[in-house]
Amino acid sequence: MSMIELNGTTLAYDDLGEGSVVVLLHAGIADRRMWRGQVTALAQHHRVLALDLRGYGDSNLPENPFAHFDDVVGLLDALAIERAALVGCSFGGAVAIDATLAHPDRVTALALFGSAVSGHEWSDEANDLWESLIGDVDDEDFDAAAEADVRFWVVGPGREPADVEPALLEFAREMDRRALAAEAALGNVEVYELDRPAIGRLEEIKVPVLVGAGAADVPDICRLADEIAARVPGAVRLPDVPDAGHLLPLERPAVVNEALLAFLP
C-alpha cells in the first residue's frame, strides 16, 4: 500500500506493474480490495493503480471541500502520469465518467461494470424492489445496513443468499460496513459535483468505452449499461454475465479480466 497527500487528505492506493496506466475505482459499497481479482492479472501488462476514494478504505476522511473526480487526476499529477485508462464499478464508474468529462485530455479509455452515472434517478421499480426485499433499515446500524446492501446489491433481487459463495458475502459485508461509516462522515463535507451531471452529457465522451453488468444485478443497472452503450459514440456493450451481481469484478474475476485485457490500450 502507498499513501499520498492531496488537498489536505492522505489517500491510499496500490501501485503494481509497468506499462500504460490503469486506475481502478471501487464501488460505493466497497473499497479498493474489491479489485483483488484484477490487480495481479492486469499488472502483468499495465501499471495498475487501485485507489481508495477519499474517506473509504485506508484513505483518510476529508476536512476540505473536494471532488472525487478531481482526486483521480490529482493522483495522476502527483505520480507524474499524463494519461490513464479508468476502470470503475458502480459509484466508481460514476467517478470515472465524471473524471473523463471534467478532464478529457487525461483519460485514454473507460471500462464500466455495473456503473452508476451522476444525475441518474432510480426508477420506481428499483425502489419497490428494495421495499419488497429489504424494507426499512436503521441507517445508523451499520451491521443491519450492510446486510441489507449486500442482500440487494451483491446477491441481487433474482437470487437467494444461498446462491452466492458465503466467503464473498462476508467480505462484501465487511467492506460495506466501512463504506457506510465513510458515507456518514462524508455527509458532513462539501463534495463538489460536475456543473452538469453526466447523465445529460454521455455523448461528449470521446474515448473508447467498455460497458458490462451482471445478469443478477438490479434491473436499473442493466438498463443504465444499455443507455451508456447506446449514447456514448462507439461504446462496446458486453453481454450480461450470468450468475453475477453488482460487484461483478469481485464475483467473476476471470470474465472481467479477459474483457479488460482485450480492451485496455
**Is 147:175 a contact under the CB 8 Å cutoff?**
no
pLDDT for the residue 197: 96
Q: How far is CA 76 from CA 13, 92, 262, in A?
A: 12, 16, 23
pLDDT for the residue 8: 84
Q: At what angle do helices 124-133 and 219-231 cross, to 10 degrees?
A: 150
- What's the first-to-final CA gap in the chain, in angstroms? 25
**Is 216:160 a contact under the CB 8 Å cutoff?**
no
Q: Which CATH architecture group holds 2-121+190-263?
A: 3-Layer(aba) Sandwich (3.40)
pTM of the model: 0.96
pLDDT for the residue 217: 95
pLDDT for the residue 212: 98
- What does the domain layout of the chain look like in residue ranges? 2-121+190-263, 126-184
| pLDDT tens digit at each of 265 positions of the chain | 999 888 888 999 999 999 999 999 999 999 999 999 999 999 999 999 999 999 999 999 888 889 999 999 999 999 999 999 999 999 999 999 999 999 999 999 999 999 999 999 998 888 887 787 677 776 677 888 899 899 999 999 989 999 999 999 999 999 999 999 888 888 888 888 998 999 999 999 999 999 999 999 999 999 999 999 999 999 999 999 999 999 999 999 999 999 999 999 8
Entry field: residues in the chain: 265
Phi-psi region of 56 (alpha: psi -120 to 50; beta: other; left: phi over 0): beta
Q: How far is CA 39 from CA 51, 95, 202, 221, 239, in A?
A: 11, 19, 28, 24, 23
